[in-house]
Structure 1
Amino acid sequence: MPRDTQSSETLKVSIGQASSAGRKDVNQDFHGALVPDGRVLHLKGIAVALADGISTSQVSQIAAETAVKSLLSDYYCTPDAWTVKTSASRVIAATNSWLSAQGSYAGAEDADRGYVCTLAALILKARSAHLFHVGDSRIWRISGASIEPLTVDHRATLGTGTVLARAMGATPEVEIDYRTEPLSAGDVFLLTTDGVHEYWQPRRVTEIIADASDLDAAARQIVDAALEAGSDDNLTVQIVRIDVLPEGEDSFATEARRLPIPPLPRVGGTLDGFEILREVHGNHRSYIYLARASDGRKVALKIPSSDLKDDDEALRRFLMEEWIARRIDSPHVMGAPDLSEARSGLYIVTDFIEGQTLRQWMQDNPNPGFEQVRDIVEQIAKGLRAFHRREMLHQDLRPENVMIDAAGVVRLIDLGSAYVAGVQEAAPEREEDGILGTCQYTAPEYFSNESVSWRSDLFSLGVIAYEMLTGYLPYGAQVSRIRTPRDRMRLSYRRAQDDAHPMPEWLDEALARAVHPDPAKRHDALSEFTANLRAPSVSYIAKHQRPLLERNPERFWKATSALLAVLCIVLAGIAFS
């Protein structure tokens, strides 16, 4: 991928931090912040966190340090395609499980002696603040001359006092409070442990921060003021001020504008060290060449058409294709080699897949067997699951974008239309394009401007399976005429089972469910659809199970007569006993 660049208007913050053991011998609080740069800043954001170990435990400071360090390191190791909520929640949940297990291994009789702490985390990405909270540490925002709490303590009343109702490491599973807040330049957030906010004077805090040229010094002042007010606990405060908000675009758009579209290379020539072997495909949008990299491997080199030079969105998506290909590790999805060479122009490099498209395969096999169809659909489903596990949607699944190699391995290609939740979150002001896929295979909810999900990819897969078995489409051209939810529900499914295409009724029902106009009525998992292509579903069996009297009247009456005869014998025995 071309080297990372940073927009002139990226997210910029000022951070001040201070922590003290106070009147205690050991500081069981821990805090930290991480401000990356380049594309990591754009896609993952800035993370700030603090944790407060419980005073009854001798090892809670280890828990606090682990909770913060794990979040600040592991969060940035999660897939870039994931949203902040998914990434941070999974890291926090994994850390909680580890802390709980450590307490069990150490033989702690109760959570009060274990690896237990609170956690408050603030992740700033694009123009949003993402808050994660467990326990009674707090996150605040300064609003004018007052301090607004953004979290609610997880405490419960016990006798005459209160105890933590929720904490990291207290149980194997943890419930995390999560919320988002829009950002404005000048916003100030504070993260505090109870040794600070139970003793501070809010007005004095806002004055200190308003007058501060050094936020670290301001944080120390707030800690010292809480100590002077009588705090007998550890004290930690973090101050985060939003200085500059990013522009409403992502780094792919910036990169697309920076790099020029190179002239089309000649066969036998080179481009940045890639030897051009032959042209594979070309149209009004792009040209694909088979090339040889400097290490000898064969790759596909794709150059956008000069017709797209003024289409920023098309070029942005063009660049994303390689980025996505590198982040999905599946034998059923086109990959991209990790090449470090600098690039002089706008082009992408992906794996070269030698084979034929599913469209060509369908033309060569107009009457495929059920098992052939099942095999191809199952492989496509595996590729789609690789997308969905990373919070991505393919969005342009059609026979032309499915490749089958000589060994029969199926791979999804053309990833430029994919929806990536984490990337969209990084540029929320940039609206997603409308319908990116081909109308005949696109789910109806796209046309009615309703929310989409992985079930939208399932619809496309169902249409492909239907077409492979019948040669036509389940709704013809009706889908492209949809404009409202009411239009969507008027779609009329054309049964796949007919004289020309004999198949079990349960197979036709599986297809009908996959392409149902209502996404909620489609299968609950891709694996459920592929399983229903092999055997009747439980719901089908229950719905079509006929009583024995209808299926085999003779057997029913014979069994009934036998039962009555036995009953008569038993009754006679009772009567004469």
Structure 2
Amino acid sequence: MPLTLEFGYATATGPRERNEDYGGFVEPDARLAATKGMLAVVADGVSGGTHGREAAESSVRNLLADYYATPDTWEIPRALGTVLGAINRWLHGQTASRVDPGGMATTLTALVLRGRRYHYAHVGDSRLYRLRGETLDALTTDHVWETPGMSHVLKRALGLDTHVLPDFGEGELAPGDIFLLVCDGVWEPLGQLELHRLLKLYAAPQRAADALVEAAHARGGQDNASALVARVVAVGEADAPLIEAHELPLPGKLKPGARLDDFIVEAELHSSRDSLIYRARHAETGQRWALKTLQPVLQGDADAACRLLAEEWFLKRVHSHYFPDVLPLPGRNFLYFAVRYFDGATLQDKLDAGQHFSPVEVVTLGIRVLKGLAALHRLDIVHRDLKPANLHVDAEGKLRILDLGVARCPTLDAREDHAQPGTPSFMAPELFGGAEANAQTDLYAVGATLYHLLTRKYPYGEIEPFQHPKFGEPVPPARTRPDLPPWLENVILKAVARVPAQRFETAEEMLLALERGEANPLLRRRTPLIERSPAGAWPLVAAASITLNLLLLFLLLAS
């Protein structure tokens, strides 16, 4: 069952000349609601500026629109924070560029409800309350100066400064929860007890919002009054954005000539423990596609089906030519997805065929991989299984990154419980200790891949599955490839450093190091002996200490 909400919103000018409050909410379609949630916002323009209403209205309108334009793969706080940062810069810039006096600033409180959770972003002295059962809690803290006499002076608001630091929070939803977003023109004259009473008195959110605004002015409120009420009728399913039904049957083992919906199978390309990949031709267009499905033994395995659909979900959102295109399949009758097929070979195929890669070729390949990886990381997606077998070069020399079957992002992680996917020899050392994969572990895999292409070896030796390796210092690749330029060796060794803090932080940083090359070489950090081998360093320290003490004793006796 999807998350079901009821909203109500009311605002009134009151004794003021104009209403500088603004609020609104969005109830998107089911697909968007599953990935981005439902958004409600209330803003109160700062009265000290002549453009308070404009600031409040433009902030709410832009947030309601731009939030839904952020990538589905971003976490909600990042999406809200990015949009609010852009709005703040625009408001601050308007204040500086306008000739007429007065600033543009506003408070703002935003609430996103998705699946079984809620998230909020808050700046200023508007407030967010939650009524659960008989308890009304204030979820936000006012950003005002605590000095006596300055309780209404904002220290944070959109448009006040060049940078803004909203407060973020989240929590679990429960059926019957009521959320209240109000400006200070409501919560100040009413107080928490009256807010509680009115929310309990009126079940319908619109009736409650109207009553709160009317009561605020009846109690002597001298400010604009605005209230937005959201009631949770039913919570949604587990927080996962996959909309496609995974109950579709598997196509089973297919032979050349078999028909699968609009495709005619030509050959089986790959078979693994979990998946099958076929090369197929579209019956109408003649275009070749690669079809990926599950092994027949996984029929009815909901987790495996979700993992397959998750890979398709990721590929649909990565708009980069370094990844294969996905064909929309709105009317499919079986569980599979289709990506464009290209003749060519993976880098592992080329290694197996005996091809040797020159340093120039490896640098070119590394630059292409990092450009694709940068596009992936900008969406907060971590690949988790980069290796030569997942890097494909087509007949025209174009590189593509394959297999997002174990990828993850903050909004979608369809991996098996307690699983740490990846190919051991290309996995960063910290992953063997249970650390979560991130952008730096992907960059380690890129470094290990470049190392392997050049040497056919691995930085720390080959690691077998289920092995618990110990990591010392990586073997310099120049020992196997004396023709390797020192600057390139330094880049690779930095990428595969045992300690994450010594690696590249982003794909763009490593990309820049490869593009600059010898023109601006990366200096190699020499690891101190105490870091390389603590067990071997301490005996040397002890020996030096004993020698020094004996020397001092000799000098003392001699004198």
TM-score by length of 1: 0.83
| Aligned ranges 1:146-157 → 2 under 5 Å | 146-156=135-145
Is 1:55 aligned to residue 47 of structure 2? yes
| Aligned ranges 1:376-415 → 2 under 5 Å | 376-415=365-404
8 Å CA contact 2:42–2:110 kept in 1: the answer is yes
Of 488, 497, 504, 1:516 maps to: 497
- How far apart in 1 are the matches of 2:28 and 2:318? 23
Of 442, 464, 471, 2:456 maps to: 471
8 Å CA contact 1:466–1:496 kept in 2: the answer is yes
Of 410, 416, 423, 1:438 maps to: 423
Structure 2 partner of 1:310:
300
Structure 2 partner of 1:202:
192
Shift of 1:278: 4.2
Shift of 1:374: 0.7
| Aligned ranges 1:362-377 → 2 under 5 Å | 362-377=351-366
8 Å CA contact 1:130–1:178 kept in 2: the answer is yes
Q: Determine helix, strand or coil for the equivalent of 2:412.
A: helix
Which of 503-512 and 176-185 deviates more?
503-512
- How far apart in 1 are the matches of 2:525 and 2:79? 40
8 Å CA contact 1:141–1:187 kept in 2: the answer is yes
Given the superposition, is the C-alpha separation of residues 491 and 432 from structure 1 closer, same or farther in structure 2, using an over 3 Å criterion? farther
- CA shift digits 1:235-282 (9 cap, x unpaired): 011122333223336353x74532111245554454332344444334
| Aligned ranges 1:37-116 → 2 under 5 Å | 37-109=29-101, 113-116=102-105
Given the superposition, is the C-alpha separation of residues 387 and 97 from structure 1 closer, same or farther in structure 2, using an over 3 Å criterion? same
Is 1:188 aligned to residue 178 of structure 2? yes
The gaps in structure 2 that reach 5 residues or longer are 529-559
Is 1:361 aligned to residue 347 of structure 2? no
Given the superposition, is the C-alpha separation of residues 310 and 58 from structure 1 closer, same or farther in structure 2, using an over 3 Å criterion? same
- How far apart in 2 are the matches of 1:240 and 1:513? 51
- How far apart in 2 are the matches of 1:300 and 1:230? 69
- How far apart in 1 are the matches of 2:525 and 2:462? 32
| Aligned ranges 1:118-133 → 2 under 5 Å | 118-133=107-122
- How far apart in 2 are the matches of 1:457 and 1:55? 49
| Aligned ranges 1:138-537 → 2 under 5 Å | 138-142=127-131, 145-156=134-145, 160-161=149-150, 162-248=152-238, 250-252=240-242, 255-265=244-254, 267-268=256-257, 270-284=259-273, 285-292=275-282, 294-337=284-327, 339=328, 341-424=330-413, 434-478=419-463, 490-498=471-479, 501-532=482-513, 534-535=517-518, 537=521
- How far apart in 1 are the matches of 2:190 and 2:416? 43
**Amino acid paired to 2:72:** D
Structure 2 partner of 1:552:
none
Q: Number of residue pairs matched? A: 523
- CA shift digits 1:65-104 (9 cap, x unpaired): 1111211121111111111011111111122222233333
What is the root-mean-square deviation in Å for CA atoms of aligned residues?
A: 2.8
- CA shift digits 1:521-562 (9 cap, x unpaired): 212333443454533745438999xxxxxxxxxxxxxxxxxx
- How far apart in 2 are the matches of 1:270 and 1:405? 26
**Amino acid paired to 2:366:** V
Shift of 1:415: 1.1
- How far apart in 2 are the matches of 1:227 and 1:53? 18
- How far apart in 1 are the matches of 2:418 and 2:139? 34
8 Å CA contact 1:291–1:301 kept in 2: the answer is no
8 Å CA contact 1:130–1:179 kept in 2: the answer is yes
**Amino acid paired to 1:65:** E
- CA shift digits 1:349-403 (9 cap, x unpaired): 1121221011012234543211011111111111111110000000111111110
- How far apart in 2 are the matches of 1:374 and 1:500? 14
Shift of 1:515: 1.5
**Amino acid paired to 1:494:** V
- How far apart in 1 are the matches of 2:33 and 2:417? 21
Q: Determine helix, strand or coil for the equivalent of 1:497.
A: helix
Shift of 1:458: 0.8
Structure 2 partner of 1:23:
15
Shift of 1:52: 0.8
Given the superposition, is the C-alpha separation of residues 365 and 525 from structure 1 closer, same or farther in structure 2, using an over 3 Å criterion? farther
- How far apart in 2 are the matches of 1:438 and 1:81? 24
Given the superposition, is the C-alpha separation of residues 451 and 347 from structure 1 closer, same or farther in structure 2, using an over 3 Å criterion? closer
- How far apart in 2 are the matches of 1:406 and 1:101? 50
**Amino acid paired to 1:498:** R
Shift of 1:344: 1.2
**Amino acid paired to 2:30:** G
8 Å CA contact 1:108–1:114 kept in 2: the answer is no
Given the superposition, is the C-alpha separation of residues 532 and 36 from structure 1 closer, same or farther in structure 2, using an over 3 Å criterion? closer
The gaps in structure 1 that reach 5 residues or longer are 1-7, 545-577
- How far apart in 2 are the matches of 1:336 and 1:61? 45
8 Å CA contact 2:74–2:410 kept in 1: the answer is yes
Given the superposition, is the C-alpha separation of residues 182 and 537 from structure 1 closer, same or farther in structure 2, using an over 3 Å criterion? farther
Q: Determine helix, strand or coil for the equivalent of 2:120.
A: strand
8 Å CA contact 2:185–2:216 kept in 1: the answer is yes
Given the superposition, is the C-alpha separation of residues 381 and 500 from structure 1 closer, same or farther in structure 2, using an over 3 Å criterion? closer
Shift of 1:190: 1.4
8 Å CA contact 2:450–2:492 kept in 1: the answer is yes
Given the superposition, is the C-alpha separation of residues 382 and 473 from structure 1 closer, same or farther in structure 2, using an over 3 Å criterion? same
- How far apart in 2 are the matches of 1:236 and 1:482? 61
TM-score by length of 2: 0.86
- How far apart in 1 are the matches of 2:75 and 2:26? 18
**Amino acid paired to 2:221:** S
Given the superposition, is the C-alpha separation of residues 198 and 431 from structure 1 closer, same or farther in structure 2, using an over 3 Å criterion? farther
Which of 315-324 and 50-59 deviates more?
50-59
- How far apart in 2 are the matches of 1:496 and 1:209? 69
**Amino acid paired to 1:514:** A
Given the superposition, is the C-alpha separation of residues 19 and 526 from structure 1 closer, same or farther in structure 2, using an over 3 Å criterion? same
Given the superposition, is the C-alpha separation of residues 114 and 270 from structure 1 closer, same or farther in structure 2, using an over 3 Å criterion? farther
- How far apart in 2 are the matches of 1:395 and 1:228? 60
8 Å CA contact 1:136–1:152 kept in 2: the answer is yes
8 Å CA contact 1:443–1:459 kept in 2: the answer is yes
Is 1:34 aligned to residue 22 of structure 2? no
Which of 150-159 and 326-335 deviates more?
150-159
